[in-house]
Amino acid sequence: MHPGICDTALLPLYAHAGDPASEGAARVARLCDPDTEILPGAYYDHTALSPAAPVATEGRTVRRLCKVADQIVGLAA
């Protein structure tokens, strides 16, 4: 879920206009509903399956994300 589509403090980092945070929260809740069919790891724009930005699938980016995720999980364990 792209945080830039919500009118929060993160909005200036991603976009110029966004929906209310309550609408973004409702979309996230819908995607978390076990009755909603989703593809794990997929990118959703609102609640529609959408292609991720090309940089998100670059090998260097994926490796960095995995490294950071491993560090975060290690801290939480």
pLDDT-derived band of residue 1, with 50, 70 and 90 as boundaries? Answer: low
Q: What would you report as the CA-atom Rg of the chain, rounded to the nearest whole angstrom?
A: 14
pTM to 2 decimals? 0.54
Quick one: pLDDT at residue 3? Answer: 59
Looking at this protein, which amino acid is placed at residue 55? V
Report pLDDT digits (tens) over 40-51: 778 887 778 888
Report pLDDT digits (tens) over 13-22: 777 888 888 8
